[in-house]
């Protein structure tokens, strides 16, 4: 194939240059030129062929799309996708190397292959390597096809000839478009590869799943625009030395972005962890000071997590503060409230806060548990074992209501908590669990027998 003509555009000012410069000749910005293939054809709007004439129509007259989601029978993945795969949609799965992206999608491919042919394009590993992984995962389905190919045009040409139900591309950074001269993995290449795959999904009306690497900063490698091009962006996270893997949606045109999928990486692939609350509080030592349990909401799903705090005298002038699985600035805020409003002597203490088991507690409802854990460690006095804590701390030391208290109560009751400490005025189901209302942190600590 003849090379398509390419030009360079500045990502700052949009200025055009025929060759690459370190500095944009138009606006003077450094390192902003991006190569792009120029094509004479105008892009068609989604779902239409290029030459069709489109007239405006009243919104009520637009034929309703009958979206048929295809579930994968992998409940943890289906839920994060918004109930399954939507035909014609494109899904980008991001994550650090080695976290298990290829494993997850090979399992998804095998599940989908029970319905019809699935093509897994691998630009990183050979077909034999994928087969080896497939053996471990029991994924040797008759309808699952592997294509080891790095040229995206050639791979899609092969895909074109198959009656596919799902296409997987592993990964956007390793595939390349021969239309561009830049190296694979560069901004323009990543964009061209993703664009080709997204267009294929729309044209064939099948779901396409793309794997993307993330940079050290935890962002998808490649331009932000990649996230705009696809319908759904999922992130796969976890710690390397821990088998827990969390899947979340950061963008989803077909569902909520609050859902969380929880897996465990085992010898035979990723296993769903439907009973995640049990996992996160399983190693708890409630008789120790500094441990508090809260219920955070992950979308519609309540999750019990243990917050641990360690408070000790600083050896140096500047006290250290460290947060794991909890927002660092939020920790500083809680410490400030405890110092100023409750007059607790934390100014010369190191404070370490961590959410046990590799979970994250981003829900503001975790504030109360964080504060209680810190005070418990400071006083060296354990919290009552059967009290669940949920409440957002305000700057004045007041406790603010958190939503979905009924679900939190039910989850707590299911795991043996007999009391739940909540901001005064929160509703909640009292079935099996007793509500302990508190209007501010001071009152909460009194109820917990931790007041000074
Ligand atoms: P992989 O899917 O190759 O990661 P990625 O595509 O995100 O780079 O998975 C890598 C790790 O997962 C590897 O270190 C081995 C581990 N693993 C298991 O523990 N069990 C399994 O069944 C499989 C297939 C992999
Ligand atoms: Mg991989």
The model's pLDDT over 281-316, given as tens digits with 9 standing for 90+, comes to 888 898 999 999 999 988 778 899 999 999 999 987
Which residues, other chains included, contact 355 with Cβ-Cβ below 8 Å and sequence gap of 6+? 305, 306, 307, 308, 324, 325, 326, 361, 366
Q: How far apart are CA 362 and CA 360, in angstroms?
A: 6
Q: Whose CA is nearest to atom 25 of ligand 1?
A: 269
Q: Which of 94, 121, 132, 265 gets mutated to test ligand 1 (max ligand atoms within 8 A of its CB)?
A: 265
**Ligand having the closest approach to the CA of 267:** 1
pLDDT at 49: 59
Q: How far apart are CA 67 and CA 125, in angstroms?
A: 34
Sheet holding 301-313, edge to edge: 321-324, 349-355, 301-313, 291-298, 387-389, 419-423, 434-438
pLDDT class for 398, splitting at 50, 70, 90?
Answer: very high
Pocket around ligand 1 at a 6 A CB cut-off: 95, 97-103, 133, 136-137, 265, 267-269
Strands 166-170 and 208-213: parallel
List the single range of 139-148, 224-233, 353-362, 365-374 with lowest mean pLDDT: 224-233
**Ligand having the closest approach to the CA of 134:** 1
Phi–psi pair at 86, nearest 5 degrees: -100, 130
Tokens found for residue 220: 């998808």
List the single range of 83-87, 274-278, 425-429 with lowest mean pLDDT: 425-429
Res 402 pLDDT > 60: yes
pTM above threshold 0.75: yes
CA of 269 to the centre of ligand 2 (A): 13
Q: How many CB atoms lie within 10 A of CB 452?
A: 12
**Ligand having the closest approach to the CA of 271:** 1
For residue 171, say if its preceding peptide bond is cis, omega within 30 degrees of 0. Answer: yes
Q: How far apart are CA 200 and CA 206, in angstroms?
A: 8
Q: What is the distance, to the nearest Å, from the Cα of residue 272 to the centroid of all Cα atoms in its chain?
A: 16
Q: Whose CA is nearest to atom 8 of ligand 1?
A: 98
CA distances to 236, 309, 353, 354, 394 from 324, rounded to whole Å, are 18, 10, 6, 4, 22
Q: Whose CA is nearest to atom 11 of ligand 1?
A: 98
CA of 127 to the centre of ligand 2 (A): 13
pLDDT at 101: 95
**Ligand having the closest approach to the CA of 235:** 1
CA of 99 to the centre of ligand 1 (A): 6
Tokens found for residue 196: 């080709």
CA of 176 to the centre of ligand 1 (A): 24
Q: How far apart are CA 132 and CA 63, in angstroms?
A: 46
Res 29 pLDDT > 90: no
CA of 97 to the centre of ligand 1 (A): 9
339-393: pLDDT as tens digits: 999 999 999 999 999 999 888 898 999 999 999 999 999 999 999 999 999 999 9
pLDDT at 429: 63
Q: How many CB atoms lie within 10 A of CB 432?
A: 13
Determine if residue 135 is left, alpha or beta; phi over 0 gives left, psi from -120 to 50 gives alpha, anything else beta. Answer: alpha
Place of tokens 């979308």: 299
> Radius of gyration over alpha carbons of the chain, in Å?
26
- Residue 267 CA: nearest ligand 1 atom is 20
Res 51 pLDDT > 70: no
Tokens found for residue 231: 């319908």
CA of 124 to the centre of ligand 2 (A): 7
Q: Where are the beta strands (DSSP E) in 199-290?
A: 208-213, 232-237, 244-252, 260-266, 269-272
pLDDT at 1: 46
- Residue 101 CA: nearest ligand 1 atom is 7
Could you give the 3-state DSSP secondary structure of residue 185? coil
Cβ proximity of 106 and 120 under 8 Å? yes
Q: Whose CA is nearest to atom 16 of ligand 1?
A: 100
pLDDT at 187: 79
């Amino acid at each position: 194939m003849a090379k398509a003509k390419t030009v360079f555009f500045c990502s700052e000012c949009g200025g055009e240059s025929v060759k690459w410069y370190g500095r944009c000749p138009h606006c003077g910005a450094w390192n902003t030129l991006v190569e792009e293939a120029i094509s004479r054809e105008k892009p068609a709007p989604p779902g239409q062929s290029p030459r069709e004439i489109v007239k405006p129509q009243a919104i009520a007259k637009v034929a309703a799309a009958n979206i048929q989601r295809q579930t994968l029978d992998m409940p943890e993945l289906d839920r994060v996708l918004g109930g399954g795969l939507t035909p014609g949609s494109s899904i980008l799965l991001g994550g650090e190397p080695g976290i298990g992206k290829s494993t997850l999608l090979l399992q998804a491919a095998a599940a989908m292959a029970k319905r019809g042919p699935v093509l897994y394009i691998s630009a990183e590993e050979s077909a034999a390597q994928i087969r080896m992984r497939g053996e471990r995962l029991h994924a040797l389905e008759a309808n699952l096809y592997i294509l080891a190919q790095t040229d995206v045009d050639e791979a899609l040409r092969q895909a074109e000839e198959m009656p596919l139900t799902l296409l997987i591309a592993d990964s956007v950074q390793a595939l390349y478009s021969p239309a561009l001269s830049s190296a694979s993995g560069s901004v323009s290449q990543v964009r061209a590869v993703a664009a080709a795959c997204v267009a294929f999904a729309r044209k064939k009306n099948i779901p396409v799943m793309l794997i993307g690497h993330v940079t050290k900063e935890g962002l998808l490698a490649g331009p932000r625009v990649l996230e705009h091009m696809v319908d759904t962006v999922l992130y796969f996270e976890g710690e390397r030395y821990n088998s827990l893997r969390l899947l979340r949606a950061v963008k989803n045109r077909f569902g909520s972005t609050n859902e969380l999928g929880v897996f465990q990486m085992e010898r035979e692939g990723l296993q769903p962890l439907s009973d995640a609350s049990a996992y996160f509080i399983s190693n708890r030592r409630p008789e120790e000071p500094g441990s508090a349990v809260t219920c955070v909401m992950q979308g519609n799903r309540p999750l019990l997590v243990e917050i641990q705090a360690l408070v000790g005298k600083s050896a140096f002038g500047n006290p250290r503060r460290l947060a794991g699985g909890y927002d660092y600035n939020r920790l500083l805020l809680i410490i400030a409230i405890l110092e100023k409003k409750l007059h607790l002597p934390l100014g010369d203490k190191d404070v370490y806060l961590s959410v046990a088991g590799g979970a994250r507690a981003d829900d503001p409802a975790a504030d109360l548990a964080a504060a209680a854990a810190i005070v418990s460690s400071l006083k060296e006095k354990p919290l009552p074992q059967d009290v669940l804590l949920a409440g957002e701390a305000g700057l004045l030391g007041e406790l603010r209501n958190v939503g979905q208290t009924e679900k939190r109560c039910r989850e707590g009751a299911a795991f043996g908590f007999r009391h739940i400490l909540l901001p005064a005025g929160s509703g909640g189901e009292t079935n099996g669990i007793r509500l302990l209302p508190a209007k501010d942190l001071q009152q909460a600590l009194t109820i917990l027998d931790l007041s000074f």
